[in-house]
Structure 1
């Protein structure tokens, strides 16, 4: 599968699992030959992305492909990839459950299996602005706040997940949305709720989300999102 096909497949999965926000949100993949990155084209929703609606850009947002529109927030992808050589793919989404959860200030706790991917420690948070990440400087600040983590909440905005490849970055977004939705539902009952302690959470992270399990889960997501 070529880079444009990988991004298009990831966008289709995101669309099917709670991440559609009209034409906003984006997914990127580091170019395997070191020439910038491949990014969902601006002006289309996740569910509309086909390989010909994926653009190839450099770190400054300049088109390397023949045509297409570049998202204003391309610095999210360009600057995180510049700061994190281990990151091969990035998702930026405005999933409602995650935006709502971020506004509560609650720690994201492992009520179920999904939360163990993000705690301990608690998720990183970007609070410098709730506006768009539309400059290289803001992109660098976001990358610094993310540090070595796999997710960061952008309060009053959305979130970013990262991974070595498209399947990992996209699945982190899918799992994050579910974890936030579950905790919001539990908190809304007004009852006391429970979660795994640190030792159990770390053990479950390894047991539930090893390479084989994640590969099987990705294959399932692709099949049902076709």
Structure 2
């Protein structure tokens, strides 16, 4: 297996993990991974597409930033996402971004439409998620299909340098240095949205955790926050396409 094959498999795995967590449904949503300064691997669609939950490595194609094939035959039988500019503009905005996940988590969309911001309402329940929320999760307020560079740049501007942005009436974009981190960030934001909706539904009031608690919410390291967390997500899949 070549390095490119391994990367295709990882992007496909990320798609299946996101679907298993309910962050996407049907055929909508896609992940990408930067390969070099002008190409990325991105989940594409074919006439035999069965949905994001069943993404295969062969569904992940090498594409240039302008949407053309990144190598001969790469787009034979496949179409790039309409919202490829989400990936391209996010990757171009920050060299540290190598992976982008554009997903449609219903709880995040519902919370935003209800006027509920993603805030650090809990602590040790999910420490990485709490720190992510503490830094802020901005909102891009247009509920549009982001299918050109102008809208992609607008979304990136709304992102304001943060790793995740909520797209009103649409979904989220999560950017990171790895596919694993991009998906795990999305899972954390979804968990915060779900908890916020449950608290509100129970008649409770949302409030941030006490400022003094942050000193006792340490970074437990990538071994737990990323590696172990990702192993768990993969294990939850069971038998899935290779």
Give the alignment's TM-score, normalised by structure 2: 0.85
Query: Aligned pair 1:215/2:223, yes or no?
Result: no
Question: Compared with structure 1, are the counterparts of its residues 109 and 97 closer, same or farther at alpha carbon in structure 2 (3 Å cutoff)?
Answer: same
CA contact (8 A) 1:130 1:157 kept: yes
Shift of 1:191: 2.4
CA shift in 2, pair 1:146/1:49, >3 Å = same
Across the two proteins, how many residue pairs are aligned to each other? 222
**Does residue 117 of structure 2 align to residue 107 of structure 1?**
yes
Does residue 1:135 correspond to 2:145, yes or no? no
Does structure 1 residue 165 correspond to structure 2 residue 178? yes
SS in 2 for 1:162: strand
Q: Does the residue aligned with 2:61 lie in a helix, a strand or coil?
A: strand
Consecutive unaligned residues of structure 1, counting only runs of 5 or more, are none
Matched residue SS, 2:109? helix
Distance 1:188 1:166 in 2: 33
When the two structures are superposed, what TM-score results if normalisation uses the length of structure 1? 0.91
Task: Verify: 1:37 aligned to 2:40, yes or no.
Answer: yes
Q: How does 1:113-192 map to 2 (within 5 A)?
A: 113-114=125-126, 115-127=129-141, 129-192=142-205
The corresponding residue for 1:79 is 89
Structure 2: how far apart are the matches of 1:76 and 1:199? Answer: 37
Runs (5+) with no aligned partner, structure 2: none
CA contact (8 A) 2:118 2:189 kept: no
Q: 1:62, 1:202 → 2: CA distance?
A: 48
Structure-1 residue corresponding to 2:14: 10
Rg (Cα) greater in structure: 2
